[in-house]
A and B are shown apart, each in its own frame.
Chain A
Amino acid sequence: MTDRPTFRIKGDTGDWEVVMGLEIHAQVASNAKLFSGASTAFGSDPNCNVSLVDAAMPGMLPVINKFCVEQAIRTGLGLKAQINEYSRFDRKNYFYPDLPQGYQISQFAHPIVGEGEIDVDVEVPGKEGYTFACRIERLHLEQDAGKSIHDMDPHATYVDLNRSGVALMEIVSKPDVRSPAEAAAYVKKLRAIVIALGTCDGDMEKGNLRADVNVSVCKPGQYEKFRETGDFKHLGTRCELKNMNSYRFIQQAIEYEARRQIEIIEGGGKVDQETRLFDPVKGETRSMRSKEDAHDYRYFPDPDLLPLELEKAWIEEIRKSLPELPDQKRARFEMDYGLSRYDAGVLTSDADKALFFEEVAKGRDAKLAANWVTQELFGYLNKEGLELSQSPVSASALGGLIGLISDNTISGKIAKDVFARMIAGEGEAAAIVEKHGLKQVTDTGAIEKVVDEIIAANPEQVAKVKDKPQTLGWFVGQVMKASGGKANPQAVNDILKAKLGI
C-alpha cells in the first residue's frame, strides 16, 4: 500500500490541484417504478411501459413502491451511512415534454439516507495502488424522466415515457475526490457496492448508472484549508460535468475541464458556475447551461405523499440480510486466499473481477490464480483497452491453464505461450498443450538420454563446468532446447548435477 499521491497540474503560475464531488444516478433494481406499477423492463417498444400515473393523466396520484424504499435503505447501509427514519418527497418543478407531471418527485430537504463513507481503491499503472476514504453526503430517491428523441424527424421531437417514473438513487459525495483516476475509482467502487447489494445492475452502457462530476481547481494548500474550516471560499468555482457513463470519459473530461479552468484563471478570467457536457469525439467539455439560465425549481413538499417514516425494526431486518460487500470481500480474499491487500483490493474493486477471480481460483492455487488474473489477464486487457466482459479467455479456461501449471503438466514459461495461444483463439489450455506437444517431460529416463547425448558431444564444456559450476546454466539451456522447452526444469537440474558430479 502506497501513500495517496497529490495530483497536480502545471500551469503558468505554478501547480494547481483539482477538487471533485460526484453525484451518481443509479437506477434502482426493481420490476416496478417508484410511484406506479408500470414495468421497468429495458428495451420495450416506446411508450409501452407507461401507466396513467407515469403519463400524468388528470387525477392520478403517486403511490410509493415499498421495494424501492427497501433498496435505498439497503444501499445506504452498504455505504455505512445514516438511515433517516424520517424523510420526505418534494416536487422539483420544471417544464419539459419528457416530464409529464411538470415536476419530478425527488427528496430535496429530507433525504432517506444521510452521511456515510466508502473506501476507494485506486490503481496506479505500473505501481502498487492506494486506498482513500470518500465521505458520502446523502442518498435520495427520485423519479427518472422520459426520453426525448430528437433524431427521428428533422422537424419534430418524439417522447418515450418508458423511463418516466423509474426509481433512481442519487448518491452525492463530499468534495473528497482529488484526481481523475480517483473519480473513476470512486464510480467503480460505488458500482461494485450497488451490484453486490443487488440494488442497481450497474449497467453503465444502458445509463443505469451515470455520474455528474463537480470539478474545481485550486492552489496547493487551499484544499486543506477548506477541510479545516468547511468553508467553500477556499475552493475554486465549480463546473458540473453531466451524465458520464464511462470510466475513461470521466477521466478525460476531468483532465480537460481542469486545464480549461486553469487557463481561464491564469488568463485573468473567472470561471463561471455552469453545467457542461463532455464531447467524447472532440475530447472537450462544452457549456450546457449557465447558472443564470438555471431553473428555479420551486421545491416544496409533495402534498400527494405522506412523509416516509421507517421503523427501526425494518431497517435492522434489512441490515441483517445484507450480502457480502466489496470491502468485506477484500478482507475475505486476504484471509482465505492469502492475497496481499493490494491484490485483494484490485480483485474486489469490481464485482465482475471478484466473481471472475473466484471462478478461476476455485479448487486451485489462489495466489497463482491471483497473479495470473491481475498480471497476465488484466495486463493484456489494459494493453488492448478491453473490459473484463470482453476478455477472450473465460474464467474457467484460465482456471484450466492454472490447473496445468499446478499439476506440473506445463511450466510457468510454457503457460505464457499457451495463454497467448488461448488469446489467439486456439481453444482450451489442455487442447493446446496436447496439440502442440507442450507437455512437460518429467520422465527422467528421457531426460537422462538427452543429458547423456549432450555431455558426450561437449567434452570441453564438461571440463569447464567442474571448475566453474555457474556454467551449469549452459547445459540446462541445451537440454531445454533439445526438449523443446518441455523438460521439467527441476528434473533437468538434478540429473545434470548428478551426471556432472557437481
Chain B
Amino acid sequence: MTDLTALTLAKALDGLKSKQFSSVELTQAFVSAIEGARVLNAFIVETPEKALDMARASDARRAKGKAGKLDGAPLGIKDLYCTKGVRTTACSGILGEFTPTYESTVTQNLWDEGAVMLGKLNMDEFAMGSSNETSRFGNVINPWRRKGDNQGLTPGGSSGGSAASVAANLCLAATASDTGGSIRQPAAFTGTVGIKPTYGRASRYGMVAFASSLDQAGPIAKTVEDSAILLEVMCSHDPKDSTSLDIKTPDWRKDVRKGVKGMKIGIPKEYRIEGLSEEIDALWQQGIKWLKEAGAEIVDISLPHTKYALPAYYIVAPAEASSNLARYDGMRYGARVEGNNLTGTYEGTRASGFGKEVQRRLMIGTYVLSSGYYDAYYLRAQKVRTKIFQDFVEAFEKCDAILTPACPSPAFAFGEKSGDPVEMYLNDVFTVTANLAGLPGIAVPAGLSANGLPLGLQVIGKALGEAACFRVGGALEDAAGFVAKPERWW
C-alpha cells in the first residue's frame, strides 16, 4: 500500500469514497507520522484519541452513505482557532492552559462536513511574526533544507506549523490565517499552496484576534485543488461576525483546471522593488511566460501607492492589536502574575505572558493611537489604505488578476532576521497589500531556488474574485509541474 500521508486531499477523499481505505487507517497513518516528526515542532497539541474517535464516526457515517464534503479527512488546526475542549493559546504564554468551551465557526464548518482533527498547530505568538520564532512553544523547523546544508530553516510565519505539517505530510491540509501574509509566505517557504480569501468570506468568530480589519482565515494545502476544496468549507456567512459577508460561497474546485485562456493578467511595475533578487525576478518572468503560453494576455499595470503599504500595515495592525489584546489582563482566564496591587498584577501578567515581539507591537500600536499622534499615524495609515484600495480598483479595470512574487526571498535560517524587526517585516512586502485592500491572494509553488528551496508566486484577485486566483494558480501549478518534496531527514 502506498504511503497514505503522501496523498492529496482530493485523492484521499476519493480513496475514502471508494473505500480503498478507511478514515481510521488514514488517520492512524497521520497520527504515526506526527509522532515521528516531533522534531519539527509543528504540532503543539496532538489529539490522536479525538482524531481516531472522529475517524471512527466518519467511517460509520460513510457506511450509512451520509458522508460530508471532507468526511474522514485528517486536518491540522492552527492554534489561533478556538477548539472546544482542546487547549487554545495562539501560542502565547498569556493564555496559559486556556481551553475554550466553544468552537470557532471555521473549524465547526470543517467538523460539520466530517473532517478529523489531528491537533493544534504551532504559530507565531498571536500570529505576530514571519518566521515562527515568536511562539511560546519554540520554533517550527522547516522540513526543507538548503542543498548540502543541515542548518535549520524557518517555515515562515505566522502559520509556520500549518505550512510545515502540510509539507512534511503530517496532515492532508491545514487551517491557517493571514493578517499580512501569514498564509501565503509560509506556503511559499514550504512548497505548499495557501490562499487568503476576500475579507469577510470566512467568519472570524472564535479566531483569536490579531488585527480585526485584516485577519482572515484560509487553508494551506498540497495543491491548488486541495486549497479550493478546503476554502469552500471554511467560508460561510456567520451572523456572529458583523464583518462576515452575507453571500453564497461558490464551488471553486471547477475553476482550478479551467485554464487562463483570454484572461488578462496584470504585472504591477511597483512590485519590482529595489534589491529584488535575480532569482525571484527570474521566477516572476517565468510565471509571466507560462501564463502567456497558456493563452493569457499580459498587461502592465501600476499600483502607485505600493511603497506605503508596508509602513501603513505596521501602523494599522499593531494599533488594532494593542486594543484586541487588552483583554489578556489576568483577570478572567489564562496566566496571571500576582502583583502588590492592581497595576502590579497587570504589569506582571502582561510582561511575563507576552513575548518580546508581541510587546513591541503592543507598544507601537499604543503609541500610534495615543493623543497627539493619532492623526499623524493611524489616520494617515487609514488614508493610505484607501489609496491602496483605489489603486487596485483602477488596476482591475485593466486585468482579471495580478501576478507578483509571493516573497522577496526563499526560507531563511533561524536568527538570520530576528535581530532586526524591520528586516523581518520586509518579508511581507508583497503580501500586505492584499490584506490592506481586503482582496484574495493565493501563493503557489513555482520553482526551486539555486540552493534547492521552494519559491512561490502570488496571484491577487478582485474582491470576491477567488475564482480568478484559482484559475491562474491552477495554470501556474500545471506549468511549473512542481512536484519536489523535502527530503525526509526527521
Q: Is B138 an interface residue (CB 8 A)?
A: no
Q: Which of A61, A97, A102 has the most CB of B within 10 A?
A: A61
Q: Is A226 an interface residue (CB 8 A)?
A: no
Contacts of A300 in B (CB 8 A): 319-320, 323, 369, 374, 378
Q: Is B267 an interface residue (CB 8 A)?
A: no
Q: Judge whether A61 and B241 touch: CB under 8 Å.
A: yes
Docked complex: B304-345 residues within 8 A CB-CB of A: 319-320, 322-323, 325-327, 329, 331-333, 342
Interface size, chain B (Cβ < 8 Å): 43
A59 interface neighbour in B209, B369, B370, Cβ under 8 Å? B209
Secondary structure at the B interface, as helix, strand, loop or mixed, is loop
Nearest CB on B from A116, distance (A): 28
Docked complex: B51-69 residues within 8 A CB-CB of A: none
Q: Judge whether A58 and B329 touch: CB under 8 Å.
A: no
A298 interface neighbour in B208, B327, B329, B370, Cβ under 8 Å? B370
Interface of A toward B, CB cutoff 8 Å: 52, 55-64, 91, 93, 95, 97, 100-103, 159, 296, 298-300, 303-306
Question: A298's closest neighbor in chain B, by CB?
Answer: B369
Q: Judge whether A52 and B102 touch: CB under 8 Å.
A: yes
* Mask: chain B, 78-89; 1 = CB below 8 Å from A; 0 = not: 000110000010
Q: Judge whether A58 and B90 touch: CB under 8 Å.
A: yes
Q: Judge whether A59 and B104 touch: CB under 8 Å.
A: yes
7 pairs, A vs B, C-beta closer than 8 Å: A57-B102, A58-B208, A58-B327, A93-B326, A95-B326, A102-B325, A102-B326
A61 interface neighbour in B90, B204, B322, B366, Cβ under 8 Å? B204
Given A61-B242, A102-B329, A296 and B205 contact (CB-CB distance below 8 Å): no
B88 interface neighbour in A58, A62, A103, Cβ under 8 Å? A58
Nearest CB on A from B40, distance (A): 26
Given contacts A58-B98, A95-B329, A97-B329, 13 further A-B contacts (CB under 8 A): A56-B332, A57-B100, A58-B208, A59-B100, A61-B241, A62-B242, A100-B327, A100-B332, A103-B323, A300-B320, A303-B213, A304-B209, A305-B243
Bound form: Cα–Cα A303–B179 in Å: 13
B243 interface neighbour in A55, A59, A103, A306, Cβ under 8 Å? A306
Nearest CB on A from B335, distance (A): 13
Docked complex: B419-452 residues within 8 A CB-CB of A: none
Secondary structure at the A interface, as helix, strand, loop or mixed, is loop
Question: A97's closest neighbor in chain B, by CB?
Answer: B331
Q: Is B240 an interface residue (CB 8 A)?
A: yes
Bound form: Cα–Cα A106–B90 in Å: 28
Contacts of B243 in A (CB 8 A): 303-306
Q: Judge whether B205 and A59 touch: CB under 8 Å.
A: yes
Contacts of A298 in B (CB 8 A): 322-323, 366, 369-371, 374
Contacts of B326 in A (CB 8 A): 93, 95, 101-103
Q: Judge whether B211 and A303 touch: CB under 8 Å.
A: yes
Interface of B toward A, CB cutoff 8 Å: 81-82, 88, 90, 95, 98, 100-102, 104, 204-209, 211-213, 239-243, 319-320, 322-323, 325-327, 329, 331-333, 342, 346, 366, 369-371, 374, 378
A159 interface neighbour in B102, B104, B205, B331, Cβ under 8 Å? B331
Q: Judge whether A63 and B240 touch: CB under 8 Å.
A: yes
Contacts of B239 in A (CB 8 A): 63
Contacts of B342 in A (CB 8 A): 97
Nearest CB on A from B50, distance (A): 20
10 tightest A-B CB contacts, nearest first: A102-B326, A303-B213, A303-B212, A298-B369, A56-B327, A59-B206, A58-B208, A296-B371, A59-B82, A97-B331
Q: Which of A91, A101, A299, A303 has the most CB of B within 10 A?
A: A303
Question: B334's closest neighbor in chain A, by CB?
Answer: A58
Nearest CB on B from A296, distance (A): 5
Question: B326's closest neighbor in chain A, by CB?
Answer: A102
Nearest CB on B from A500, distance (A): 89
Q: Judge whether A102 and B323 touch: CB under 8 Å.
A: yes
Q: Judge whether B207 and A64 touch: CB under 8 Å.
A: no
Question: B319's closest neighbor in chain A, by CB?
Answer: A300
Question: A102's closest neighbor in chain B, by CB?
Answer: B326
B207 interface neighbour in A57, A59, A62, A101, Cβ under 8 Å? A59
Bound form: Cα–Cα A304–B205 in Å: 10
Bound form: Cα–Cα A300–B212 in Å: 13
Nearest CB on A from B316, distance (A): 9
Nearest CB on A from B342, distance (A): 7
Nearest CB on B from A143, distance (A): 14
Contacts of B366 in A (CB 8 A): 298
Given A52-B102, A57-B102, A59-B207, A93 and B323 contact (CB-CB distance below 8 Å): yes
Contacts of B370 in A (CB 8 A): 296, 298
Question: A93's closest neighbor in chain B, by CB?
Answer: B323
